[in-house]
Every structure is written in C-alpha cells, then in structure tokens.
Amino acid sequence: MSPLNYFVLGVWHKLKSWTIYDRSDKVFEMSVYRILFVFLSLLFLTQCATSGRNKGDINMYSTGQDAKLGAYWASQIPKMMPLLFDERLLDFVNNLGQKIVHQFPEEERLFDYHFKIVKDPQVNAFALPGGYIFVNLGLLQVVEEEAELAMVLGHEMGHVVYRHGTEQLTKAQGFSCCLAITANAVGLGQIQVELINLFGQTGLLFYGRKAELESDGFGVESLHRSHYDLSYAHTFFEKLQKIYKDKPNRLEKMLSTHPTPDVRIQEVKVAVQKYKADPNPIVSTPSFGEMKKVLQKYPSKHEQSQLINQYHAYLKQHGLTPSDVR
C-alpha cells in the first residue's frame, strides 16, 4: 500500500469520529470534513501519473491512445470547418513545422506531426493529441515574420508534447466519475455535489491557463533550438492585443482558458532570458516571402491593402524584389 493510501485511510478513520450520526434513521449528515474526504478520495482514485515534462500530472491515456484519438478527431475536422488545400501554403507550413520537430530531443519525438490550414479569417491555431496541428488562414495573414509563425507552431506542439489534450480529457472524465462514486458512498446531497462540481470546473479552467503558459515556454525553447530570433517570441501576442482590444472583466479573466496577452508577453520575455542569444538568428527565409505573396489572393477580414503593404514592407526589410520570391 502506498503512503497516499495510508494517508487517505487514516483521514477516513479520523473523519468517522467527527461525523454527526442520527441513529433514528441511519442517515449521515454532511459536514465540512466529509467534503474534505471527497477531495482526498478524488486525488486517490485518479492517480495515473505521466512521466517526462509533465511528470506527476494525471493522465489515464497512453501515448498510443493519444495518437488514435488525435487521428480520429482530425478525420472529423473537415466535417466541421473548411480546410485549405493550397499546395504552396501547405508545403511551407509543413516544412517549417517539421524543421521544428526535428530539433526536439529524441525522447520527445513521440508522434508523427501533421499540419493543416483552416480557411478561417480568425487569428487562431489549435492542436489535437498525437501531433495534429491546425493553423487558420487568418493567422498566416497576420504574422509578419517567419520567427513569429515558428513561435505559434512551437506553442501548439507544446500542447502535444505535454499531452495537455488527454490530460484535460482525463480531468473531465475522471472528476465527474469519481465524484459520482464518492458522493454515493458517503451520502452527499445534490447541493453539495453541485458545489464540489463548481470548484472542480474552476480547477479545470485554471489548469487550462497553466497549460497555455507551459506551451508558451515550449514555443520559446523551440525557437531557440531551431535558431530563430528570440526577440520575436512575444510579438505575436502584441498583435493579439491590437486585434482584440476589449479587455475581459475580472470574472471573464478568472474563467478564461487562456492567460491574457499581457501576462503571456511578460512570461515569454522571462523565458527568453534562459537562453544564450544565437549569433546569427533567423528572422525569416525567402520561402516565407513566397508564402506571403501566395496569401494575397485570399480574401481576409483584414484590409487587402494592409496585406499588400505588409508584403512590400517584408521585401524592403530583407532587400528583396518581387522577382526574388516568384
């Protein structure tokens, strides 16, 4: 029996002596000590710890199951949102993504990575378990340098490496299941169950913010390993601040699954300090300029003239002409 088992058992015996018991109808009355025992039981029943970067975090899924789940969910994405099958854009995003993956430590290359583009003007990207990364067209239109896009891809890969998807799924499934079992065992009423569920859900949301910051840190590390300019690690978040000007109120901040851009900017700037500056960092490559030119033919919620100006600014900054990126 593990030390935690002994601990929970000891707490249970102690709590029994504190329980209020009505001998007339043999019904246990709820007390704060019973609630404490519920949380200890949830901890005890959901001990499926991972190893590696997220050592000790709870995950009931194996890496093989991550891959299977991701493959299934990825097969459903085209039914829910339109994918873009532009070979030049796909080749660029895939080549950049694979370049970053090849810099991972050997023990962290757990999955084959697949990169897709969603034909959506929203500035967003997301990752599914097992290495499936989806990037919105709107995000490709907004990034101004390859290093910015590399940071975004590194962030999404961080979710895969840390296995945040199945950790979150474990929490969502395990918490509800264990709460139901334990509530029945110790005689919780519906009001107590709802209270505990509320705190449980808030905990899951907080965990989501933690996961985002972990992935931001992995993005910075990926930039460093791939020899990109670390001064661009935070610039994408500055763009998000400009795009989404309305600040969330305090309640929305508490329940948001993402940290606010200003928090992420500060955390990323701190993370950058851990690494020695590359003497010849990459900001962008000619293939990025080619990608930006291809993007001009796609409509965007952002002004078309703004995209053209961005393209010409890129050429000027890198001493190129339009013929250089044909």
8 Å CB contact between 253 and 199 = no
pLDDT digits (tens, 9 = 90+) for 163-211: 888 887 777 666 555 555 545 554 555 545 544 444 444 443 344 678 8
Nearest to 116 by CA among 94, 143, 148, 146: 94
Helices and strands, number each (H, E), in the chain: 13, 6
How much is the pLDDT for 98?
97
Domain ranges of the chain: 3-60+166-207
- In this predicted structure, the answer to whether residue 9 has a pLDDT above a threshold of 50 is no
Q: Please give the structure tokens belonging to residue 263.
A: 């928090």
Residue 326 neighbours by CB under 8 Å, 6+ apart: 290, 293
Rounded to whole angstroms, what are the CA distances from 307 to 48, 89, 121, 135, 167?
A: 48, 16, 13, 18, 39
Indicate the pTM of the whole model: 0.70
pLDDT at 290 (0 to 100): 95
